[in-house]
Amino acid sequence: MTLHAASREALDLAEKRLGEVLAAAGTDPATVGDELLSVVALLDREIGLRRAVADGSASSEARIGLARGVLAGKVSEPALQVLDSVAGSRWSSPRELTDGLEALGRSALLTSAEKSGNIDAVEDQLFRVSRIVAGEPELERALSDLTAPAEAKRTLVRTLFADKVDVVTKTLVEQVVLRAKGRGVGNALEELVQLAAERRERSVARVTSASALSDEQQARLSEKLNALYGRQLALHVEVDPSLGGGLVVRVGDEVIDGSTAGRIDALRRRLAG
């Protein structure tokens, strides 16, 4: 997804708000994701509404009020809070607003798969769907056909995949197919695979220990990390005696260094500074 500078800034703000909303107790990420994607579908259909919500000449308060006036009672309060951020920001174009909103909906759905421990399955299913579509040119043409009724394409997706994949996978694939914009669904499906792979990597805790961990130690560590990150993490444990003692834990780009070697390096850096 290519966005201009204003839209990238707006999306960054909305992603931060989405993270706050999804972290709140009682919020269901799958529901928020479904609702945000339903708003994408509405804005795709209602060109005038899309332009009004993205109208940079109107105040942010007016745009937020418009969105809430249309959507209050139709989507949940957590979804409305994300939409407040979307409507209240300046976007480079109405189309980029809906593309950004679609990205937020996808993110919420992948977060639901993370929290339920299904992200590995979702990534694998998206990959298999993308390979099936890539290997069947007639199927890809049918799914990418801009003139085909949306309901017909939705039915085709559900007939082929619905009873074979997770509900998150089904929803994401349907969204790609329903928003096909002439470039075909193949590339869009590959983008989904990459997004899920990035999420899966975030849901793996790569643990390096100075000595082997017992099953009980691994269970306690897993419980603490799950509580810290608010989702189920898969532990991949390796032994490296050069650490001297303790653990190093990597989750995505984050590193928790509790090793002896890490503490010595940190001390050296402080002394050198």
CA distances (Å), origin 62, targets 27, 56, 57, 71:
27, 10, 10, 14
**Pick from 116, 135, 167: which residue ends a domain?**
116
Residues 1, 112 within the same domain: yes
Q: How many domains does the chain have?
A: 2
Q: Is residue 139 part of a domain?
A: no
Round to whole Å and give the CA distance between 88 and 221: 42
The pLDDT of residue 259: 83
Q: Is residue 192 part of a domain?
A: no
Of 53-67, 99-113, 212-226, give the lowest mean pLDDT range. Answer: 212-226
Three-state DSSP at 208 gives strand
* Residue 3 C-alpha from the chain's centroid: 17
Query: Who contacts 156 (Cβ-Cβ below 8 Å, separation ≥6)?
Result: 142, 143, 177
Name the percent of the chain lying above pLDDT 70: 98
Listed ranges 41-45, 210-214, 226-230, 256-260; the one with the highest mean pLDDT: 41-45
Each residue of 38-93: pLDDT tens digit? 999 999 999 999 999 999 999 999 999 999 999 999 999 999 999 999 999 999 99
**Pick from 91, 116, 141: which residue ends a domain?**
116
182 confidence band (pLDDT: 50, 70, 90): low
Question: Could you list the residue range(s) of the whole structural domain that residue 24 is in?
Answer: 1-116
**Pick from 61, 86, 116: which residue ends a domain?**
116
pTM of the model: 0.77
Residue 269 pLDDT exceeds 90: no
Each residue of 252-268: pLDDT tens digit? 778 888 888 777 777 77
Q: Is residue 5 part of a domain?
A: yes
Q: Is residue 134 part of a domain?
A: no
